[in-house]
Amino acid sequence: MQPPYLSLDRIDIRILSLLQSDAKLSNIKLAELVNLSPTAALARVQKLSKEGYILGYEARLNPNLLNNAFVVFVEILLDKTTPNVLDEFSHAVRQIPEIIECHMISGGFDFVVKIRCANMDEFRKISGQILWQLPGIKETRSYPVMEVIKESQQIHLGRVIN
């Protein structure tokens, strides 16, 4: 069975790239940039959405202007990794708005989370009142970010082209 991305052609990849860079791009401008009619471009976007290549659209907000510029990565070790503990932990993490990313990892810890908040004082409250209340927590290690060098949700599409 071939990977799904092999069914994409250069126009699909270009559409994904353009929309990933500017989701507010009008259909008329998108069609012009990929040399299709507006109807054909819209049909392609709808197909890419239906097939799950486009998951949705959201605005990127400026955390500095919204009192959320402080970033901390936290490694989390659970006391055990049975399916029910993992499920309980995962469910609980999804309920915490300050945790903006959570990844199960291999190595010395079970999860790494990314937290955005106002400052170190707020993080200390989140750590004590929220993180340590999560099910199965055995140990955490926190890494406050001194400076964000690069932050992106864009997927590199160069290797997808047939």
Which of 49-53, 67-71, 150-154 is the least confident region? 150-154
Lowest mean pLDDT among 86-90, 103-107, 109-113, 157-161: 157-161
Tell me the domains of the chain and their CATH numbers.
8-51 (1.10.10.10), 63-144 (3.30.70.920)
Predicted TM-score (pTM) of the model is 0.86
108-132 per-position pLDDT tens digit: 999 999 999 999 999 999 999 999 9
Residue 124 CB neighbours (<10 A): 12
Cα 2 to its chain centre, rounded Å, is 26
* 52-84 pLDDT, tens digit each: 999 999 999 999 999 999 999 999 999 999 999
- pLDDT of residue 1 exceeding 90: no
